Amino acid sequence: MSQLSRRPSAPVVGESVPHESSRLHVTGQALYTDDLAQRTSDALTAWPVQSPHAHALIRSMDTSAALAVPGVVRVLTAADVPGVNDCGIKHDEPLFPSEAMFYGHAVAWVLGEDQDAARAGAAAVIVDYAPLPSLVSVADAIEAGSFQGMPRTVSRGDADAALATADRVISGVTEFAGQEHFYLETQAALATVDEGGQIFVQSSTQHPSETQEILAHVLGRANHEITVQSLRMGGGFGGKEMQSHGFAAIAAIGTLLTGRPVRVRLNRTLDMTMTGKRHGFHTSWEAGFTSDGKLLALKAMLTADGGWCLDMSEAVLARALCHVDNNYFIPNVHVDGRVAKSNKTSQTAFRGFGGPQGMLVIEDILGRSAPLLGLAPEDLRRKNFYREGDSTPYGMPVRHADRVTTLWEQVLERSGFSERRREIDAFNAAHPHRKRGLAVTPVKFGISFNLVAFNQAGALVHVYKDGSVLISHGGTEMGQGLHTKMLQVAATALGIPLSGVRLAPTRTDKVPNTSATAASSGTDLNGGAVKNACEQIIERISAVAGGMLGVSGSDVRFSNGVVTALGVRDRSFTFAEVIMKSYMQRVQLWAAGYYRTEGLHWNPELMQGEPFKYFAGGASVTEIEVDGFTGAYTTRRVDIVHDAGDSLSPMIDIGQIEGGYVQGVGWLTLEDLRWDESDGPHRGRLLTQSASTYKLPSFSEMPEVFNVQLMEHAEEEGVVYGSKAVGEPPFMLAFSAREAIRDAVRAFGPADYSVELASPATPEAVFWAIQQSCAAAGSSFDELDLNVAAVEPVTVGL
Sheet arrangement for strand 99-100: 99-100, 56-62, 126-131
**3-class DSSP string for 293-321:** CCEEEEEEEEEEECCCCCCCHHHHHHHHH
Query: What gap in Å lies between CA 784 and CA 782, rounded to an integer?
Result: 6
Phi, psi of 129 (to 5 degrees): -105, 145
What stretch of H or E contains 46?
strand 44-50
What stretch of H or E contains 67?
helix 64-67
Query: What gap in Å lies between CA 658 and CA 707, rounded to an integer?
Result: 9
* DSSP classification of residue 528: H
Strand partners, 440: 621
- Closest to 34 (Cα-Cα) out of 254, 257, 266: 266
Query: What gap in Å lies between CA 415 and CA 620, rounded to an integer?
Result: 9
One-character DSSP codes across 716-781: -TTSGGGB---SSGGGGGGHHHHHHHHHHHHTTS-TT------SS--HHHHHHHHHHHHHHTTS-G
* DSSP classification of residue 2: -
512 and 208 Cβ atoms separated by less than 8 Å:
no
One-character DSSP codes across 150-190: EEEEEEES-HHHHHHH-SEEEEEEEEE-------SS--EEE
> Which residues touch 694 (CB under 8 Å, ≥6 apart)?
180, 182, 272, 671, 672, 673, 688
Query: What gap in Å lies between CA 309 and CA 342, rounded to an integer?
Result: 8
Active site residue 728: yes
Query: What gap in Å lies between CA 266 and CA 672, rounded to an integer?
Result: 22
Query: What gap in Å lies between CA 276 and CA 238, rounded to an integer?
Result: 10
Report which residue type is found at 53.
H
Angle among Cα 114, 120, 126 to the nearest 5 degrees reads 135
Q: Which of 93, 213, 314, 728 is catalytic?
A: 728
What stretch of H or E contains 602?
strand 601-603
Q: What is the CA radius of gyration of the chain?
A: 28
Query: What gap in Å lies between CA 317 and CA 353, rounded to an integer?
Result: 8
- Closest to 347 (Cα-Cα) out of 242, 266, 265: 242
Query: What gap in Å lies between CA 111 and CA 109, rounded to an integer?
Result: 7
Query: What gap in Å lies between CA 677 and CA 536, rounded to an integer?
Result: 60
One-character DSSP codes across 425-487: HHHHHH-SSEEEEEEEEEEEEEES-SSGGG-EEEEEEEE-TTS-EEEEES---SSSSHHHHHH
607 and 321 Cβ atoms separated by less than 8 Å:
yes
Angle among Cα 644, 645, 650 to the nearest 5 degrees reads 55
Query: What gap in Å lies between CA 746 and CA 738, rounded to an integer?
Result: 12
Length of the chain: 798
- Closest to 148 (Cα-Cα) out of 353, 345, 346, 338: 338
Q: Which residues are catalytic?
A: 728
